Amino acid sequence: MKIQFIGSGDAFGSGGRLNTCFLVDAADTRFLIDCGATSLVGLNRCGVDPDSIDMILLSHLHGDHFGGVAFLLVHAHSATKRQRPLKIVGPKTTEQRVMDSLKVLYPGAENNPWRFDLRFEEYELEHVLSVGPVSLTAYQAAHSAGEGPACALRVTVESKTVTYSGDGGWSENLGRAASGADLFIAETNFYDKPVRFHMNLVTLMEHLDDIAAKRLILTHMDEDMLERVKSLDFETAEDGKIIEI
């Protein structure tokens, strides 16, 4: 399984990085984990055809994590005349929020007669959801994003498990979501600054032995964290980076 960090930045584009968007390539599927506002730019920059994506998994409904869905849909409808089906999976209110964003950004687009099969599915917390070859379990994160919950996502495909923390401070749920994962992609927005609803690296380090993930990659970093990257004894994400697990 191959993963490409299409966007690895925080909400404010620290370091010039794009919003969160991870591309997962498996034998029988290709999907995104989150689709922040700049994702279409990132996909084009990385030479990835947006119409090749089968599914989008959303951790929560903040613009830097789902804001790119509207642009991707308009691109699919108006620019490429997409025919390939697309499934969008997210927390409660996902379909409503996506359609509301279309209405604001491209009035009338929410009523498009889609040329392709567009489907939404909303997951329930701590219930395993199977979508084709992908198994997804969402855990409530220590974060807030409106009516729908903000979640850490535990994704299994090809017998490999990837956990993405989403946004959020430390919680037992995050430990459960990441426990023993083949890859844990963890938000570390800050180094040691305690900020409600976000993780700092010092706090995360206190729990790594208990999580026991096989590989850890840090993402969603502010300017202070980015300045420390070369001195940190941790693997970090960057836009365009490709890994295999």
Range of the domain at 58: 2-244
Mind listing the pLDDT tens digit of every residue in the chain (245 residues)? 999 999 999 999 999 999 999 999 999 999 999 999 999 999 999 999 999 999 999 999 999 999 999 999 999 999 999 999 999 999 999 999 999 999 999 999 999 999 999 999 999 999 999 999 999 999 999 998 888 899 999 999 999 999 999 999 999 999 999 999 999 999 999 999 888 899 999 999 999 999 999 999 999 999 999 999 999 999 999 999 999 99
CB-count exposure of residue 104 (10 Å: 0-12, 13-18, 19+): exposed
Residues 6+ apart with CB under 8 A from 31: 23, 24, 53, 54, 55, 56, 57, 134
Is the pTM of the predicted complex or chain greater than 0.85?
Answer: yes
CATH number of the domain enclosing 94: 3.60.15.10
Instruction: Please give the tally of structural domains in the chain.
Output: 1
What does the H/E/C string look like for 155-213? EEECCEEEEECCCCECCHHHHHHHCCCCEEEEECCECCCCCCCCCEHHHHHCCHHHHCC
Using CA atoms of 3, 237, 165, 232 in order, give the dihedral in degrees to the nearest 10. 140
β-bridge pairing 183-187 and 160-164: parallel
The H-or-E segment that residue 223 falls in is helix 223-228
